[in-house]
């Protein structure tokens, strides 16, 4: 196997013309209703404030409706109810933001890795790499690990022992799969993430800590995305599990033996302690903390900076963070809190 540029691969954005798509093509591809000229083309996407005549913008939040009068976008993706406020070409969608996201992906330029193994990669003799996988510079693949068809392993990644990288996965760069990590198809992991490190398992004996061996692994379902510098510990006896289509932002910590249900999303700096179980279709706000050995049912929203210490058994929105306020007002509030429980003088 050799390492070389694929025929027709990009040589850098400056040398490659931006793709262009007609409104008719976009409407047909994404099943959108078209209002305007089907042969009009767009060659990029942008916000309402920054868009030019050749670009496509979107309106998903009515709070930005006032910008419709000022935008120079050639076409907008918007809800049918917004048509009275826009006289230009439009693609109509019940969920404009989701439609815009799908269209924007057409303009995401990336440098493809060529199939094969870079000469600087180090691969164990009993590891298996599919010929249609791409292994980048300075990659290490450990014993008994497998990289399946279409997987793309970027520069500096480390794949330890007994790991499986599923079909069409992408490890962007400097990703570390420590041990016994199994990725389903189409998982994307961003730089600096570490999966399969030891969980924080300790037992106190006669005043000293004894390390509890972490004998499980990490199982990641299909179509998951894991952000930069996020860490997912392997289980102590059973596996730490992310079901399909879980989306984790940057700098999240998932403790050992945790289970995250399908289609759940977490914003940056969330911490989930060991053996917590989070249901499906949950949204966990940035900086939230979830203590160990509790369960959160399906379709729960935990607001940013909240601390969940007990199981949540009913769907809904939960929060415990105190919003910031002017410093002197907060000092007065604290003073009142400190006096709670005091007897009121007669």
Give catalytic residue positions. 256
The DSSP string of 17-59 is PPP-EEHHHHHHHHT-EEES-TT-EE--B--TTT--TTSEEEE
Cα–Cα separations (whole angstroms), residue 333 to 127, 323, 327, 341, 345:
61, 12, 10, 15, 20
Could you give the C-alpha distances from 69 to 36, 55, 87, 268, in angstroms and in order? Answer: 18, 16, 10, 35
Contacts of 50 (CB under 8 A, 6+ apart): none
Distance CA 163, CA 177 (A): 7
CA 209/CA 295 separation, integer angstroms = 28
Per the structure block, which two tokens stand in for 78?
Answer: 């918007």
Instruction: Give the separation between CA 296 and CA 290, rounded to whole angstroms.
Output: 9
Convert 192-213 to b/e letters by CB count within 10 Å (16 or more is b): bbbbbbebbbeeeeeeeeeeee
Structure tokens that stand for 82 in this block: 């917004």
Decide if 43 contacts 109 (C-beta within 8 A): no
- CA 339 – CA 27 distance, rounded (Å): 63
* Residue 131, burial from CB neighbour count under 10 angstroms (0-12, 13-18, 19+): exposed
Interacting residues of 29 by C-beta distance below 8 A, sequence separation 6+ = none
Per the listing, tokens 């729960």 go with 300
């Amino acid at each position: 196997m050799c390492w070389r540029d694929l025929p027709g691969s990009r040589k850098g954005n400056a040398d490659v013309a931006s793709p262009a798509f007609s409104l008719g093509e976009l409407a047909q591809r994404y099943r959108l209703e078209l209002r305007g000229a089907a042969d009009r083309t767009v060659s990029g996407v942008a916000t309402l404030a920054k868009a030019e005549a050749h670009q496509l913008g979107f309106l998903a939040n009515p709070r930005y409706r006032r910008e419709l009068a000022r935008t120079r976008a050639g076409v907008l993706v918007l809800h049918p109810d917004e048509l009275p406020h826009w006289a230009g070409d439009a693609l109509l969608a019940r969920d404009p933001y989701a439609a815009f996201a799908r269209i924007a992906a057409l303009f995401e330029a990336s440098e493809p890795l060529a199939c094969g193994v870079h000469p600087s990669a180090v691969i164990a003799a009993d590891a298996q790499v599919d010929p249609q996988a791409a292994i980048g510079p300075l990659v290490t693949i450990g014993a008994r690990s497998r990289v399946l068809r279409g997987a793309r392993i970027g520069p500096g990644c480390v794949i330890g022992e007994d790991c499986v990288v599923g079909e069409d996965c992408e490890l962007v760069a400097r990703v570390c799969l420590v041990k016994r990590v199994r990725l389903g198809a189409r998982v994307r992991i961003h730089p600096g993430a570490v999966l399969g490190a030891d969980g924080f398992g300790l037992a106190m004996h006669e005043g000293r800590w004894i390390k509890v061996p972490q004998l499980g692994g990490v199982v990641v379902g299909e179509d998951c995305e894991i952000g930069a510098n996020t860490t997912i510990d392997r289980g102590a006896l059973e596996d730490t599990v992310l079901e399909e289509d879980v989306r984790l932002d940057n700098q999240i910590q998932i403790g050992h033996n945790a289970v995250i249900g399908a289609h759940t999303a977490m914003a940056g700096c969330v911490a989930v302690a060991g053996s917590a179980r989070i249901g499906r279709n949950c949204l966990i706000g940035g900086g939230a903390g979830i203590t160990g050995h509790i369960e959160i049912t399906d379709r729960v929203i935990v607001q940013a900076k909240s601390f969940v210490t007990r199981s949540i058994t009913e769907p809904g929105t939960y929060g415990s963070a105190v919003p910031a306020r002017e410093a002197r007002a907060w000092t007065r509030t604290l003073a009142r809190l400190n006096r709670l429980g005091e007897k009121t003088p007669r």
